[in-house]
Structure formats: C-alpha cells, structure tokens
Chains A and B, each alone.
Chain A
Amino acid sequence: MRIGLDVGGTHTDAVLVGTEGLVSIAKVETDRDNLLASVLSAFQQILNDADPKKVEAVTLSTTLTTNVLLEGKAEEVGVIVSSGPGIDPLLHRAGSHFFAVDGSIDHRGEERRPLNKRQLEDAVAEFRGQGIRAYAVVTKFSTRNPSHELLIESAIGREADIITAGHRVSGGLNFPRRINTAYFNSAVWRTFNDFAYAVAEGICGMGLSMPINILKADGGTMTFASSRNLPVQSILSGPAASIMGVAALCRIGGDAIILDIGGTSTDIAIFAGGSPLIEPEGISLYGRPTLVRSLRTKSIAVGGDSVLRAGNGTVTIGPDRLGPCMASGGSRPALIDAFNMVCEIAFGDVEASRRGISELAMESGRSAAEIAAIAVEKSVEAIATAVRHMLDELNERPVYTIHELLHTDKIVPSGLIIIGGPAQAFSRRLSQAFGLEAIVPKVHSVANAVGAALTRTTMDIELFADTERGVLLVPRLSVNRTIDRNYSGADARRDAEQYLLASVGAAESADAQVIEESSFNMMQGPRLAGRNIRVRSQIKPGLIPAYVNGVKASC
C-alpha cells in the first residue's frame, strides 16, 4: 500500500491506496499557520484502519515552499557569482545580497582567468558580518568545470547552514537560470527542512518507518534525503499532483489535452505518447526562469467564477473573481451563470443566474440570451485558442538536426479530458471546439493525493565528456573523473544510464531513457584533437504499474 498526501490551500487530503484500489481517504482543513498539525492529523485518520507495516511509501505534496516565497518569508541569501565576459552579471541579481567576483571559465570548461580571491574574501566577510547563513554560489559554465564554484564554497566554509552550488542544481547550461534556482533553493531551505524533519519525526512517532518521498513539479518524486538539499524542486507541485491524478484515474494512451477548470483559471496540460510533457528548461517563479523541471502547463484566466462585465454591446470575462457565481449565492454574475442561462447545465439556483445576466444585459443594450451566448462563446474560444497556441508552440519547438527536422512527429491530440468544478458545463462546447469527445472523469476530490501516492521517482542527469581535456562530469551527482582518449559516445551512454539508475536505486531500471546524445569530433586544424560528448538521460514521470488497475475510474 502507498500513501499520498496533498497539502492544498484549503484542504489537506490523504489517501491510502492498495493494489485493489483506494483503501481509505482523509480530508482535514489546512491550518496555514501550522501545516505540520494538518499533515499529522490527516495521517492519523488514514492509518486508523490500516496496518502501518504494509505501507511501502509515503509521498507528500506540499505548498510549503511555494508559500514561503509567496508570503515573502524567504530567508536572506548571500549570492556569489562569477561570470567572465558576456551579459553584465549584475543584471541577473537575485535577492539583495549579491556579489560578482572576477574570474572566467569558457564553454569548453577551460579556466581563462582565475577567480579573484581578494574580491571573494571581501564578499564572504561582508555576508558573514550581516549574519547570513544561507548561500548560493554560481559561476558561468560551472557545469563544464565546477572548480570556481567549489573554491567559493570552501571560502564560505562551515559557518553556512546551506550552500547551494549551481552545478548541483542541474547539469544543463543557463547561467541566469542557475542563479535563480540556487537562490530560491537556499531561500526556502530552512523552512522546508524544519517542516520535513517535523513530519518525519511525527510519522516516526506513529510507529511508521517507510520511506518518505516528496512530490516535485515534474510530476515525479524525490527521496526525503535529496529533498533536504534541493527543496526548490518541491515548488509548485500542486498542478503536478492533479495531472498525475488524472493520469492514474484515466490511463491516458496517446496524445491528449487535459484541462483543469477552476474558479478563476484553467490549467492546460498536454500528454504525448501517454506521458505528460515537461518544460524544456524549467519553471518560472515570480517571473524568474529557473532550472526546476516541471510539467509543461499553461494557465489562462478563465474559470467558472470569472466575473462578467458588460458594456458597448459586448461582455468581458474575468480575469478576477468577485465572490461565487450567482447560482451559488453570489451577488455578481459570473461565467457559470451564463452557462446556466444558455441551458448547457442547470447548476444551483438557475433563477438567480438568469436574474444576474438580465441585469447585466440592461447595461449593455443587448438581450440576456445574447449576452450569455457571447460569454459562453468567448470563454470556450479563449480556452481553445490557448490550447491551439500551446500545441503550435510544441510542434514548432526548435530541433537541431536535419533528421529531426524532417522526421519528428507532430503532436495531434486524440483525447480531451476535462476536470475541475465547472468541467461538466464546458464539456459539450469544448468538445465541439476541438472536434474530440470530451471525457469528464468521475474524479473524486482527492485525485491530487492519488496522483501523489502513485507517481514514481524521476531524475534527470547530463553527462559531459571531453576526451581532449580528459574529463567526464555529471554535475548533478558531483561526478568529476578522468577519462582516456578512446572514451566513446557508447561508453557515455552506458555510463549515463548507470549513474542515473544508481542515483534513484536500481529498482526502476526499465524506464531510464536517453533524451539527447551527441558526440562531436573536435579538430585542431586537420588533426582530430578529441571528442566532445554530451548525454542527457532521464527517468520520466509515470505511475507505479502495480497500483494503476485498482484506482482506474470510469473515464
């Protein structure tokens, strides 16, 4: 059996899932000032009728780190970067304690200028003087040569409680994103760790000893141990929980559109070949792009409670919410009231909806029926346009070889799944808009927790090898070793797979996959100087097969 626990803004849901299906459900109100109490109370309830020894694992999805940033409770972070030539590093400033130290490493990973020790010492002394205990250190091309980051790390020394080094955050390139990611990680580190420890202790106190996993934004999990160093990966895991929940309940086969329609927004996700699509580089937090892998979702400001406004013979939808729709006792007409008016549904107090739309119509000089029809039409069109735009973006994504340009299959959705409160209201119109049958699964309100319970560990690494320099790096795993001149692309592929599997525990071997691999000859004039080899491999988000049949809903 597995436990999934999803701490949402209003409710904390927990589920206990066995291979035969859901065993029990718990729902408690979230106490935003004491998440720990909410978590432990949900646990207590769920374990009332289960044998703790039969629980294999617990996965926790929490908004804690998101809230820390949202509520401005992030810890002060001392950020030390070194960039060498390029865009002025001060333009990438994160937080209010930011130092750029001279030094330069180039794209091959060669040191071109040593790190300026004096400037480094000054920066460290100043941050210490300010009482800073959380640090982020990032140098340009550190994933090709982490030596300058390691130097800065040792200069800061043991007085720091957390030092996030850029190369351990992700093996990819992107200096500004690496700065943002390392900064956010250190900023949420303390709060997350305090919480995680308390949860672990609490669970232990109930006599449980199974592994605890943390849900990540990419729809997979990480172990409790790795979450302690990289809590930033738990950020914005909410949409991931709900999408993996749908995946668990509906077993999506090919390409599909998933719409989660809420009160004021609609989240769009796309599945390709049965798997959810991942953001190519990482999620953006508060307008700052990061290297935190996440599911590729898009949100638009159209939801059931989006307020309607009329004028000039037309009507606007949202983007705000002014209380519930009138059908649910609100005082201002919202989108759901328009759906009530055009008889797509008969939800709640239909008369109130009609009354609200009629009042709106008087301001606009059109009939109530017209106003409602326009609102419905516009909202469906807004969602459909956003989906089409997202599909176009996906199908227009750049590729870098002639083979891929000529032979990459386009994503052509054959399924449409709609969840969320107002899903039923939109289903017929959206079905028409896409020319696809719309499925509104009977997902109960704990789908998110089910998704958390059944998703497996994900991981991605980048291996970089340069046979001229004789180095091999897997930055995320701190692998840095020498190789000989004959090291080949095939060697790299094999090594990448082994490093990847070792990092998550070999049990999940079936699903390691190479996403990108290349091996280029490097010429020195007419002479072959060596090979430049890159391999990216991942364990992609997916469900634990043994449990999927049990929870499958009527989709």
Chain B
Amino acid sequence: MLKAKDRLGIIFFPAYDWAISPTHPEREERLLYTQDQLREEGIFDIDGITEHKPDIALPEDVTRVHFLIPNVVAVTTESHLISAGGAIRAARLVMEGTTEKAFALVRPPGHHAMKVVHGNRGFCNINIEAIMIEHIREHYGQKRIAVVDTDCHHGDGTQDIYWHDPNTLFISMHQDGRTLYPGTGFIEESGGPNARNRTINIPLPPETCDEGFISVIDNVVLPILADFKPDLIVNSAGQDNHYSDPITNMKFTARGYALLNRKLNPNIAVLEGGYSIQGALPYVNCGIALAMAGLDFDNLREPDYDEARLRQAGSVTERIKQVNDKVLERYFKPLRSGQFEPGSFVTREKNIFYDTDMIREHQRESVMACEKCAGLLVIETTSTINDLSVCIEIPIGACDHCRDEGLSILDEARRRGHYSHIKFINRRDKIYSS
C-alpha cells in the first residue's frame, strides 16, 4: 500500500453549483474531471492523504484584508466565502499540526483581487491566499510568509495587497505582461518604500517549457527564499502554464508542475487559474498532490504528452537566462536610490480595470514612509460604480506615530463628510469596520 511521506490534507471543493456564467471558463464542471482522476487514481486512499471540507470564511476574515466598496455583501457571494474558507481550512490543518501540508483545491480563484475591491477582475472577487495568510497571522501570530505564484498570469492582486508588507515575500513567475493579461508584473515592480525587494516578478517568454520553469525555481526562487527565510511557503498553484491551456501560450507539463512543487516544497498550495479542464487539470492536480505527499510521480503523464513538441527553443532558454540574471542582480545587489524621508507620505496613482465586471477605478495611494512598521496606508478611490471613497489601514505592529496619524485622518474624513464610503482596517487594535 502507498504511504505518504508527508501527511497531506486536500480540501476539495469544486462548487458544482456555481459559475460566473454558463459558458464562462469559471463554470460548474471546472474540477469535475480532476475529481474523476483523483478518485480513479485512489489518491484519497493513500495512507497519509486525507480529504477535508472547507470552512466558510467569516466577513471579518475578508474585511481584515480588503477594502470592499460599498460592502462585503455587494462584492462577495457564498461561493467566494467558501473558496476563501477552503484556503483557511488548509492553513488550519497545517498550523494545528493535523497534517504537514495542505492543498486547497477550491474555486473560484483570487489572485487578481486587490486591496480595494469594487467588483470582479480576472475571475476574482476576493484574494483567497491573502485572506488565509492574514487569518494565520491573526490566530497563530505574526509570521514571515512567502507566496510563490506559479499561475501563468501575473498575480497582480496579491502583489497589490503585499506591496508595502516587509514580512511577506511575493514572488510571481508568469508569462510576460506584454503578451498576456493583466499586462503587469515586470522586473522593475519590486515593492513599496517600506518593503523594498519584497515583491519579485519573473516575466517569462511565451513557449517556456519544463526546463525553463525549473531553471527559474533552481536559480532564482530557491536562493531568494533561502535569503528571506520564511516561516511558511504558500504556492498560488495556478495551472494555466500547461501546454493545453486555451488562454495562454506556455508549454509546461503535469510532471513539470509536480517537479516544481517538489523543489519548492510549499506548506500550503492553493489552486488559482487553469482552464484546460480535461487535458491539464486532472493530471496537474494529481501531480501536485503526489509531490506534496512526497510520492513518486514518474509515471504521471498527459495522454497526449509528446516530448519532442515540448522541448524548449534555444532562444527561449537564452531569454529566461537573461531574466533570471536581472532578477538576481536586483535582489542581491539592490541600488541605494529612492530613499524617502521617514514620516512623509509616498504617493502613487493607479488606474485599475475590472475586466469581468467592466468597471474602471482610479486610486491615489499614499503610504507613510516608516522605519518602524509597514507604514500607514491611505487610499482614495473612485470608480465607474462608486463615488470618491477613502480607505485607511493601520498595519499589524504599527508604530504609535502611524497609528495616531491613521486615527486622525479617519476623524478628519468623518468630520468633513465628503467621502461616499469610509473604510478602516486597524490591525494593531483588531478593528475592521466601515
């Protein structure tokens, strides 16, 4: 009988009664064939692999992370709370020592959902990894956490949420933004003034194969992780780098995904995108489950696997090497420029497009440059469906100055009364209110 080397809990929740629309890629049967494959392989009978039901995330799990405009009910449904709850269940399994590892095979995904949410973008409403991570920090103490996003699309939502957090390392490897949605994730995007180099983007050329992905893991991701020394590694396990995916241009295989997972060795994996529901997901998910359990996956292959077609072109290999070198250089030999005066606000303007819901948003985001904490965050936002609103976050472990300043800005906003919504997250005193 097969026995897992590492006990693995799988939260399998396919939401068979939920779709964005009947013909949308994010629809009912997305995980149907994955379930068939996992069952037929007998994955859940392997000694040490267990199946678990998701939790349902509470509204406070969401409002701890996001500024939801106008409110939780307007931008989330039960499906989102269950998907986030699946990730939370995965975290609980690991944090409580029930299993060594956990894989949340849940939908809908979350990595395009940003700090401020007006609606759905990139099939995502709320960021299920961020909700899970902040649930961990709230209930099990502050942790250094690394998120490695292996979805083919840049994890722009997760990047946005952790842009200013020095305790979260966000690494995204994805198809180059010049060739794919959401069009971001360039090497130069590397974190806010208080979290320099805590965001790492690795844009890869189209047609990257197993060889290329593995070289990025070996040469860039693992050395940076070794330097950051996280307490926990989370894999945003999107599966649309697969050669059969209908909306991307990469050539990754199920065995490649399994090998990547074995090398990365994440504590928790969370499904993100991946819409080749017959040709890729059944095999990729099976591979990830086997790899996380420390089992052999040498015989795992897609039925139409063709080694010759999946060999990487020399020009692609060359391009990846250039990207790797550039990322490593920026991380290990950072330039000493762009220092900001502590106690002053650093501001950027952002235009955000919600492709699923066709909403346009404009943001003015200001963060207090601070040497003692992640810095007070103030965002003014307007969108095609919501008038000017303000969002204020006092971060976990905020210094007195950042907290006091945040409270006074909140008072001022309330007094002047010209915002249509005022959103407030106070992680230091655990107050998450509107």
A526 at interface, CB cutoff 8 A: yes
| Complex alpha-carbon distance, A522 and B28, angstroms | 10
A130 at interface, CB cutoff 8 A: no
Chain B count of residues within 8 A CB distance of the other chain = 48
Main secondary structure of the interface of B (DSSP, over half): loop
Q: Are A140 and B17 touching (Cβ within 8 A)?
A: no
Query: Of the candidates A177, A523, A532, which one forms a contact with B45 in the assembled complex, judged by CB atoms under 8 Å apart?
Result: A177
Query: Of the candidates A87, A287, A406, which one forms a contact with B41 in the assembled complex, judged by CB atoms under 8 Å apart?
Result: A87
Listed by A's residue number, 24 A-B pairs whose Cβ atoms lie within 8 Å are A85-B283, A86-B299, A86-B300, A106-B303, A107-B278, A108-B278, A113-B303, A141-B40, A173-B36, A174-B39, A175-B42, A396-B52, A398-B53, A400-B13, A400-B16, A400-B35, A401-B16, A402-B78, A521-B22, A522-B29, A523-B23, A525-B246, A528-B23, A532-B29
Which residues of chain B are near A432, meaning CB under 8 Å? none
Q: Are A405 and B56 touching (Cβ within 8 A)?
A: yes
Q: Are A84 and B29 touching (Cβ within 8 A)?
A: no
For chain A residues 289-338, which have a beta carbon within 8 Å of chain B?
Answer: 289
Q: Are A85 and B299 touching (Cβ within 8 A)?
A: yes
| Complex alpha-carbon distance, A338 and B14, angstroms | 51
For chain B residues 164-218, which have a beta carbon within 8 Å of chain A?
Answer: none
Query: Of the candidates A107, A176, A177, A396, which one forms a contact with B33 in the assembled complex, judged by CB atoms under 8 Å apart?
Result: A107
With A85-B283, A520-B32 in contact, do A174 and B42 touch (Cβ < 8 Å)? Answer: yes
Query: Of the candidates B14, B22, B56, B282, which one forms a contact with A107 in the assembled complex, judged by CB atoms under 8 Å apart?
Result: B282
A444 at interface, CB cutoff 8 A: no
Which residues of chain A are near B39, meaning CB under 8 Å? 172-174
Q: Are A107 and B1 touching (Cβ within 8 A)?
A: no
A403 at interface, CB cutoff 8 A: yes
What are the interface flags for B30-53 relative to A under an 8 Å C-beta threshold, 1 for contact and 0 otherwise? 001101110111100100000111
Interchain nearest-CB distance for A109 vs B (Å): 10
A positions within 8 Å CB-CB of B: 84-88, 91-92, 104, 106-108, 112-113, 140-141, 172-177, 281, 287-289, 396-403, 405-406, 518, 520-523, 525-526, 528, 532
Which residues of chain B are near A525, meaning CB under 8 Å? 246
Q: Are A402 and B299 touching (Cβ within 8 A)?
A: no
B8 at interface, CB cutoff 8 A: no
Give the residue name and chain of the B residue nearest to A518 (CB). Answer: B16
Q: Are B290 and A87 touching (Cβ within 8 A)?
A: yes
| Complex alpha-carbon distance, A86 and B39, angstroms | 12
Which residues of chain B are near A176, meaning CB under 8 Å? 41-42, 45
Which residues of chain B are near A87, meaning CB under 8 Å? 2, 41-42, 290, 295, 299-300
Q: Are B40 and A401 touching (Cβ within 8 A)?
A: no
Q: Are A399 and B300 touching (Cβ within 8 A)?
A: no
Q: Are B1 and A287 touching (Cβ within 8 A)?
A: yes
With A106-B303, A518-B16 in contact, do A174 and B40 touch (Cβ < 8 Å)? Answer: yes
Interchain nearest-CB distance for A520 vs B (Å): 4
| Complex alpha-carbon distance, A281 and B32, angstroms | 18
Q: Are A107 and B29 touching (Cβ within 8 A)?
A: no
Which residues of chain A are near B12, meaning CB under 8 Å? 398, 400
Q: Are A398 and B301 touching (Cβ within 8 A)?
A: no
Q: Are A88 and B296 touching (Cβ within 8 A)?
A: yes
Give the residue name and chain of the A residue nearest to B79 (CB). Answer: A402
Q: Are B303 and A91 touching (Cβ within 8 A)?
A: no
With A400-B13, A402-B79, A525-B246 in contact, do A85 and B303 touch (Cβ < 8 Å)? Answer: yes
With A85-B303, A396-B53 in contact, do A402 and B40 touch (Cβ < 8 Å)? Answer: no
Interchain nearest-CB distance for B262 vs A (Å): 16
Which residues of chain A are near B23, meaning CB under 8 Å? 523, 526, 528
Q: Are B303 and A175 touching (Cβ within 8 A)?
A: no
B54 at interface, CB cutoff 8 A: yes
B306 at interface, CB cutoff 8 A: no
Q: Give the residue among A177, A403, A405 with the most B Cβ atoms within 10 A.
A: A405
| Complex alpha-carbon distance, A106 and B283, angstroms | 11
Which residues of chain A are near B113, meaning CB under 8 Å? none
Which residues of chain A are near B300, meaning CB under 8 Å? 85-87
Q: Are B29 and A85 touching (Cβ within 8 A)?
A: no
What are the interface flags for B1-32 relative to A under an 8 Å C-beta threshold, 1 for contact and 0 otherwise? 11000000000111111100011000111001
Q: Are B42 and A177 touching (Cβ within 8 A)?
A: yes
Interchain nearest-CB distance for B126 vs A (Å): 15
| Complex alpha-carbon distance, A176 and B278, angstroms | 22
Q: Are B53 and A399 touching (Cβ within 8 A)?
A: yes
Which residues of chain A are near B412, meaning CB under 8 Å? none
B286 at interface, CB cutoff 8 A: yes
B231 at interface, CB cutoff 8 A: no
Interchain nearest-CB distance for A531 vs B (Å): 10
Q: 15 more A-B contacts (CB under 8 A) besides A107-B40, A173-B40, A174-B45?
A: A84-B303, A87-B295, A88-B296, A88-B298, A174-B39, A398-B12, A400-B15, A401-B17, A405-B13, A518-B16, A520-B29, A521-B28, A523-B23, A528-B23, A532-B32
Q: Are B37 and A107 touching (Cβ within 8 A)?
A: yes
Q: Are B303 and A112 touching (Cβ within 8 A)?
A: yes
Query: Of the candidates A141, A175, A520, A528, which one forms a contact with B28 in the assembled complex, judged by CB atoms under 8 Å apart?
Result: A520
B304 at interface, CB cutoff 8 A: yes
Q: Are B1 and A288 touching (Cβ within 8 A)?
A: yes
Q: Are B29 and A521 touching (Cβ within 8 A)?
A: yes
Q: Are A175 and B40 touching (Cβ within 8 A)?
A: yes
Q: Give the residue among B51, B278, B303 with the most A Cβ atoms within 10 A.
A: B303
Q: Are A402 and B17 touching (Cβ within 8 A)?
A: yes
B361 at interface, CB cutoff 8 A: no
| Complex alpha-carbon distance, A27 and B294, angstroms | 54
What are the interface flags for B285-313 relative to A under an 8 Å C-beta threshold, 1 for contact and 0 otherwise? 01000100001101111111100000000
B82 at interface, CB cutoff 8 A: yes
| Complex alpha-carbon distance, A527 and B17, angstroms | 20
Give the residue name and chain of the B residue nearest to A396 (CB). Answer: B53
Which residues of chain B are near A140, meaning CB under 8 Å? 40
Give the residue name and chain of the A residue nearest to B77 (CB). Answer: A402
Which residues of chain B are near A402, meaning CB under 8 Å? 15, 17-18, 78-79, 82
Interchain nearest-CB distance for A392 vs B (Å): 11
Interchain nearest-CB distance for B80 vs A (Å): 10
Give the residue name and chain of the A residue nearest to B303 (CB). Answer: A112
| Complex alpha-carbon distance, A135 and B413, angstroms | 79
Which residues of chain B are near A287, meaning CB under 8 Å? 1
| Complex alpha-carbon distance, A106 and B39, angstroms | 13
Interchain nearest-CB distance for A119 vs B (Å): 16
What are the interface flags for B342-366 relative to A under an 8 Å C-beta threshold, 1 for contact and 0 otherwise? 0000000000000000000000000
The 10 closest A-B pairs by CB, nearest first: A112-B303, A176-B42, A520-B29, A85-B301, A173-B39, A401-B17, A107-B36, A173-B40, A88-B299, A401-B16
Q: Give the residue among A520, A526, A532 with the most B Cβ atoms within 10 A.
A: A520
| Complex alpha-carbon distance, A399 and B40, angstroms | 18
Which residues of chain B are near A400, meaning CB under 8 Å? 12-16, 35
Q: Give the residue among B22, B37, B52 with the most A Cβ atoms within 10 A.
A: B37
Which residues of chain A are near B13, meaning CB under 8 Å? 398, 400, 405
